[in-house]
Amino acid sequence: MTAVGAPSESSLPPLTIATTLRPDGISGVQSYVRRLRRYLDEQGTSTTLVTPFSWARPLTVPVFGVRLVLRHVSVTASTVWYRYWHEAFLYRALRRHLAGQGECLVLAQDPPSARAALRARRGPHQRVVMVVHFRISQADEFADKEEISRHGAVYRWIRQVDREVLPQVDGLVYVSQWARHALTEWFPDAAKVPSVVIGCAVTPLREPPVSAPVGDLVTIGNLDIVKNHRFLLTVLAEAKRRGREYTLDVFGEGPLHDDLLRQTRALGLAGQVTFHGFRPDARRFLPGYKAYVHACYSESFCLAIVEGMAAGLPVVVGPIGPIPELCSDGAEGRYWPLDDVSRAADILIETLERQPERARMGRAAQERFRRDFDADVIVPRLMAFLTQRAQEAAAGSVAAVLPRSPLEPSAAASREFRGS
């Protein structure tokens, strides 16, 4: 890991953030970008956000809208369409933006964004650093959500894109040690790229919190298969069978909304579980709960867990991936097994019924947040790394610009696109 020191504001060139995602949304990447830009703006450092919607916006509706139609035919075809056209539009937006820039730095949020930036930049004075939000490869992220097959050509194509792009960027920011290990174990060449491990920044709650008690348990996250809300519901049902009726508020939206509603009714939890949808102000309600619960089985970091800790809540989480880097069992919360509903119910009941212990863990969680994840700690480290990468731009070196036609999927991936 590259050592970093205090940032020098005067030496940091203009910062552009590039992402294939919409400017607003509920994903962890969108939250990361939103929080980072807001914090930097408050510190007097302006950023420019470039997305596929920054170029030819009237065309985005008909072009990107095709994806919704394709999903009814093939989720895999929809994924290929999404990646191809979002990167194509982002490349054109970045080419226009970077043409008017001198020395600058692009902070890309995924491999397609990094590739678009590498193709669009005018030379090595325009540095490209990528944040690794995914685990292993972006192909695995899509496979975890069952949008592509791990044995298909599209999976191999996306992995090939990652192999092509990662060695070309000027730096990598891993959001956890686990994320770095997972990527470099699969693709050792990534270890040759200057890198740093810096978690996602969370600011203390700025808005007045909801003062009155709200409920027992809360969770925040997209309603998709990876977030594993079904597990939460089965644990609640098991606790109810033992005579403990706890409430759970779910903030988030996604494709499993209707399925989760049906499961809630089938388990007899309709009076205990409330689905609030996406609420941009969900953090205001967190201090009114007794604990934050999380059951996701695939993470590279987890902003929602850290936000729960920032609100002074003990967290009940599965010890998967990077979670042990965020909190410790018995200190800031409890670990529960994601494959043992009975034992998980034991842990949940112990946590909620022992108020002094719960209060102690809540205080420890808030202290851990302030020490390790507060934006005042995280962002200066990130800025120091970016400043260092900008300063190390080799004068007169040849830019590592990718060829002009790497957007297209391989022939095999194209065949899978057409036939799936």
Give the range with max mean pLDDT: 113-117, 138-142, 294-298, 404-408: 113-117
Distance between CA atoms of residues 93 and 119, nearest Å? 12
Distance between CA atoms of residues 129 and 18, nearest Å? 10
Residue 371 gets which letter from DSSP?
H
- Judged against a pLDDT cut of 50, whether residue 294 lies above it is answered with yes
- Partners of 311 in the beta sheet? none
- The reply to whether 9-203+375-419 and 217-372 are identical in fold is yes
- Judged against a pLDDT cut of 80, whether residue 62 lies above it is answered with yes
Domain 217-372, CATH: 3.40.50.2000
Q: Residue 394: what pLDDT?
A: 45
Q: Residue 393: what pLDDT?
A: 65
| 341's tokens | 């509903």
pLDDT band at residue 311, thresholds of 50, 70 and 90? very high
| 9-203+375-419: CATH class | alpha beta
- Give the list of residues 6+ apart from residue 53 with CB closer than 8 angstroms, or none: 22, 23, 60, 89
Q: Residue 392: what pLDDT?
A: 81
Distance between CA atoms of residues 416 and 76, nearest Å? 8
pTM of the predicted structure, to 2 decimals: 0.88
- Judged against a pLDDT cut of 70, whether residue 407 lies above it is answered with no
Q: How far is CA 145 from CA 85, 225, 316, 318, in A?
A: 20, 6, 23, 19
Residue in this structure with the two tokens 């491990």, named with its chain if needed: 197
In the chain, what are the domain boundaries? 9-203+375-419, 217-372
Chain centre distance of CA 129: 17
Question: In this prediction, what percent of the chain has a pLDDT beyond 90?
Answer: 80
Identify which of 330, 337, 317, 332 has the alpha carbon closest to the alpha carbon of residue 373: 332
- Judged against a pLDDT cut of 60, whether residue 28 lies above it is answered with yes
